[in-house]
Amino acid sequence: MSTDVVLLTRFNLPSGGEESLIRAKEGWLRHRAELFGRYTLPSVAAQRTAPTAWLIYFDVASPQWLRDRVDAWRSEVRFTPLYRTTVPASDQVNDLREAVSYKSELLITANLDNDDSIASDFVERLADVSTPDLPHGIYLASGLIRTNDRLYLHHDPLNAFVAVLDRWDRPRTCWADWHNLIGRMMPVTTLAGDPAWLQVVHGRNVSNRVHGRIVSPLPYRDLFPGLIEDVPPPSKTAMFEDRYLRGTGRALREAIRSGVKAAALRLGGKDALALAKVTFRHLRTVFRNPA
């Protein structure tokens, strides 16, 4: 059966909790616009198979300079800007149906954050997925993380680039739940293979951190054209230090963090997990900037 693939992006929709504090900071929106233009937009433009549609949600109160930039971006890549205060599920489905004029039998929606990138075969790989169990979650588990002049290969079976396959007549989307909880409401397939996505750790992320092991960018430049050419191959010393020193500590911290988050979610639900995230961020700030 034929399948439509639609990308969904929350650009600056109003939100509560920890994210609202981050987005209220001076310069957040301009910085995010720069990242979007540098990393997200070019990665969609470079898709070997173009997505059927790309819906990007903006705050209805977005400043004029951002609206002007949206118009400029649309001259580079085809997408549908939608200005809203909230996006309930019913409105989202209506938006999807309006954005795709000639529909296939099946629909895949995939989340793309506004500071991340997708590999040039991302849409192509999703469109090849076939299963009779609908709705169905899909994760392309392998990806890259960039921080300054370093690149890391990371395996994340519940990553933020989650996709959901369903029928057009009753679509569940990738925003049906948190990206790491989709498996609680539908069967999930996790696919291995080449890196399918790129996250940029830039200091203003809500939750992204360095994961994985340091790697050379050379084998992956064709998958991410123009996005990692300026990352130099790591020295042997850097690779040794990452593998035997920094990487071990990083893995231990993440294991502890994951255990605490899983326990919080199991015992107290999403509210407890949100509190745990805020606590981790506060502690990280304290340790980086002791009195």
Q: Inform me whether the pLDDT recorded for 205 exceeds 50.
A: no
**Rg, the chain, Cα only:** 19
How many degrees, rounded to 5, is the angle at CA 125 between CA 219 and CA 221?
Answer: 20
The pLDDT of residue 256: 56
How many degrees, rounded to 5, is the angle at CA 87 between CA 82 and CA 93?
Answer: 85
For 165, list phi and psi in degrees, rounded to 5: -100, 130
22-31, 94-103, 257-266: least confident range: 257-266
Summarised one tens digit per residue, pLDDT across range 125-154 is 999 999 999 999 999 999 999 998 999 999
Residue 246, both tokens: 């920094």
The pLDDT of residue 274: 56
For the four alpha carbons of 244, 250, 253 and 258, in that order, the dihedral sign comes to: negative
The pLDDT of residue 121: 98
Q: Inform me whether the pLDDT recorded for 160 exceeds 50.
A: yes
Exposure string over 233-257, b if 16+ CB within 10 A, otherwise e = ebeeeebeebeeeebeebeeeeeee
- Domain positions in the chain: 3-141+154-187, 235-291
CATH code: domain 3-141+154-187 is: 3.90.550
Cβ–Cβ under 8 Å, residues 51 and 5: yes
The pLDDT of residue 147: 93
105-119, 161-175, 231-245: least confident range: 231-245
Summarised one tens digit per residue, pLDDT across range 61-88 is 999 999 999 999 999 999 999 999 999 9
Summarised one tens digit per residue, pLDDT across range 235-246 is 888 888 887 766
Predicted confidence band at 206 (pLDDT cuts at 50, 70, 90)? Answer: very low
